[in-house]
Amino acid sequence: MTLHQNLIAGEWVGGDGVANINPSNTNDVVGEYARATADDAKAGIAAAKAAFPAWSRSGILERHAILKKTADEIMARKDELGRLLSREEGKTLAEGIGETVRAGQIFEFFAGECLRLAGEVIPSVRPNIGVEITREPVGVVGIITPWNFPIAIPAWKIAPALAYGNTVVFKPAELVPGCSWAIVDILHRAGLPKGVLNLVMGKGSVVGQAMLDSPDVQAITFTGSVGTGKRVAMASVEHNRKFQLEMGGKNPFVVLDDADLSVAVEAAVNSAFFSTGQRCTASSRIIVTEGIHDKFVAAMGERMQGLVVDDALKPGTQIGPVVDQSQLNQDTDYIAIGKQEGAKLAFGGELITRDTPGFYLQPALFTEAHNQMRIAREEVFGPVAAVIRVKDYEEALAVANDTPFGLSSGIATTSLKHATHFKRNAEAGMVMVNLPTAGVDFHVPFGGRKGSSYGPREQGKYAAEFYTTVKTAYTLA
Ligand code: NAD
């Protein structure tokens, strides 16, 4: 089997191979991927540092052309790359292709941003002086990504980093190196100069840590768990470096008495269980007012019975497997914790077998839960959700906001008054009305509040906040 190597200073370099395993069928090896060492990470950082002066002053047309070419190739290969994604991560083929298309759209968007980066010219408060405000690249950007969006998250970090003239050291999650390797290969062939983008696949504690410890990394953009995010923050403060964190969620989805029941059920099932519940924007707290509660729970049960959980690549599958054994253990531990805490396991929650050995779990719905239970406070990151019964809208909003997290918050209602109030008062970076808590556009800001995020927003033109630094120049006329 071919070894997919790391890219350092424009050269593919070796290392011990690690098997990338398909969670739908653990007998299927997706590929062998080299594992970088701390020295490889240091070499990648040195290469990015050396490449920065030229790349940061390169013409915007060159950057535009490379990103556009990358977008075009991703789009042309969307079925193949989407299949690779589903094979290595376990989300369904439709979800894998959808995420791949999104990665292509992100590269296309930032190809355009290369040509749109503007500054400001304003008069000084002093006579005969002009003031110019411009944006410059930050320097070497370290990119550290999680396993649950193997192509979209690398795309939404790499594309703006390069568009605004930074050089990059990129460490993807150990579980899903395939899509990351593929987009780095595409960018490399699209004509990126040596050292502008370096790929170091490997362990967080080794390769990621070497990035955190390097004084030559001027900015780190991180998406992953709260625990690792805190390490990134501490190390970055130590080095006085810019950092951005996107972390966990415990996103509420409120269902009011006046909701359209079918809209509410579809949005709740999507929020809680699609992509196997492994989305930072997934909803695992479904907060339902008492007038609709019993009807809603019954309709959820009916809808969940029809969900097809199977091999991610099989036509007709709606929910793929959990990503690996350790995540599956975490999910089943939380199901046991929910029962011990006194919530009622109304549907699902059992391990299931399919034609191939994989990590299959029947999506689980708890009822009779309350917001102080661990299943309502801690991120499970699997297809496990809890229904919390409340009296009215006011209590629903208070419960929705009673969480350490603040990424996405949803409501199902036909009341303009409640929808408007919720949009203004939900303590989250993103609010969804009659829509799932997950599923966002690629051209507008993405991010959260409270324990979910730190630093400027990602995506859309707001990405410039993180990937550039502002300069104010004064000139005597
Ligand atoms: P994780 O924190 O375990 O790993 C994330 C990345 O950090 C991986 O690449 C890992 O190798 C690396 N890492 C681990 N230890 C490190 C260290 N000491 N130094 C540097 N890097 C290190 O997270 P995960 O399990 O891959 O992802 C799941 C988490 O990601 C969930 O909490 C989920 O909510 C979150 N997530 C958040 C968003 C968002 O935008 N808010 C999006 C997707 C996922």
pLDDT tens-digit profile of 112-141?
999 999 999 999 999 999 999 999 999 999
State the catalytic residues: 246, 280
Q: Which protein residue's CA is at the shortest distance from atom 18 of ligand 1?
A: 205
| pLDDT tens, position by position, 442-461 | 999 999 999 999 999 999 99
Q: Report domain extents, the chain.
A: 3-247+452-476, 251-433
**Whole-angstrom distance, CA of residue 107 vs CA of residue 121:** 29
pLDDT value, residue 413? 98
The alpha carbon of 146 and the centre of ligand 1 are apart by a number of angstroms equal to 4
| Atom 20 of ligand 1, nearest CA residue | 208
- Please work out whether the CB of residue 278 comes within 6 Å of at least one atom of ligand 1: no
To the nearest whole percent, how much of the chain has pLDDT over 70?
A: 100
Q: How far is the CA of 40 from the centre of ligand 1 (A)?
A: 21
3-29 pLDDT, tens digit per residue, is 999 999 999 998 889 999 999 999 999
Query: CB atoms < 10 A from the CB of 83, how many?
Result: 17
Give the ligand 1 atom nearest the CA of 211: 20
Nearest ligand 1 atom, CA 224: 30
Report the separation in Å between the CA atom of 417 and the middle of ligand 1, taken as the mean of its atom positions.
Answer: 38
Q: Are 272 and 363 a contacting pair, CB within 8 Å?
A: yes
Q: Is residue 205 in contact with ligand 1, taking CB distance under 6 Å?
A: yes
Nearest residue to 141 (alpha-carbon basis) of 57, 224, 64, 198: 198
Query: What integer pLDDT is reported at residue 16 of this predicted model?
Result: 87
Q: Which of 88, 148, 201 to mutate to test the pocket of ligand 1 (most atoms within 8 A of CB)?
A: 148
Q: Ligand 1 pocket, 244 CB below 6 A?
A: no
Q: Determine whether the shortest distance from the Cβ of 253 to ligand 1 is under 6 A.
A: no
| pLDDT of 1 over the 90 cut | no
Fold of 3-247+452-476: Aldehyde Dehydrogenase; Chain A, domain 1 (3.40.605)
Q: What residue owns the CA closest to ligand 1's atom 28?
A: 224
- Cβ of residue 204 lying under 6 Å from some atom of ligand 1: yes
User: What is the model's pLDDT at position 56?
Assistant: 97
- What integer pLDDT is reported at residue 402 of this predicted model? 98
Cα of 248 vs centre of ligand 1, distance in Å, is 9
Q: Which of 151, 280, 452 to mutate to test the pocket of ligand 1 (most atoms within 8 A of CB)?
A: 280
Percent of the chain with pLDDT strictly greater than 90 = 99
pLDDT of residue 84: 98
Quote the pLDDT of residue 76.
98
| Chain segment 354-413, per-residue pLDDT in tens | 999 999 999 999 999 999 999 999 999 999 999 999 999 999 999 999 999 999 999 999
Contact 123, 130 (CB under 8 A): yes
Residues ≥6 apart with Cβ < 8 Å to 187: 66, 70, 158, 162, 197
- What's residue 404's pLDDT? 97
The pLDDT of 42-60, averaged and rounded, is 97
For 230-284, the pLDDT digits (tens) are 999 999 999 999 999 999 999 999 999 999 999 999 999 999 999 999 999 999 9
Task: Please give the Cα distance from 434 to 277 (Å, whole number).
Answer: 19
Q: Check if 231 has its Cβ closer than 6 Å to any atom of ligand 1.
A: yes
Q: Is the CB of 184 within 6 Å of ligand 1?
A: no
Which tens digit of pLDDT belongs to each residue from 157-177? 999 999 999 999 999 999 999
Question: What is the pTM assigned to this prediction?
Answer: 0.97
Question: 190, 70 in Cβ contact below 8 A?
Answer: yes
Spacing, Cα 368 to ligand 1 middle (Å): 31
> Whose CA is closest to atom 35 on ligand 1?
224
Contact, 426 vs 401, CB < 8 A? yes
Coil/strand/helix, residue 8: strand
Span from the CA of 269 to the centroid of ligand 1 (angstroms)? 25
Report pLDDT for 477: 84
Selected from 3.30.479.30, 1.10.10.10, 3.40.309.10, 3.40.50.2300, the CATH number assigned to the domain covering 251-433 reads 3.40.309.10
- Whether 194 has a pLDDT exceeding 90, the answer reads yes
Going from the Cα of 172 to the center of ligand 1, the distance in angstroms, rounded, reads: 9
Average per-residue pLDDT for the chain: 97
36 lines ligand 1 (CB under 6 A): no
β-strand pairing of 453-454 with 430-433:
unpaired
Q: How far is the CA of 149 from the centre of ligand 1 (A)?
A: 11
> Is the distance from the beta carbon of residue 224 to the nearest atom of ligand 1 less than 6 Å?
yes
Q: Is 147 in the pocket of ligand 1 (CB under 6 A)?
A: yes
Question: Residues with Cβ < 8 Å from 296, sequence gap 6 or more?
Answer: 255, 261, 264, 265, 268, 288, 387
pLDDT at 475 (0 to 100): 97
Q: Select from 254, 257, 235, 259 the least CA-distant residue to 245.
A: 235
Which pLDDT score is estimated for 127?
A: 95
What does the pLDDT read at residue 376?
Answer: 98
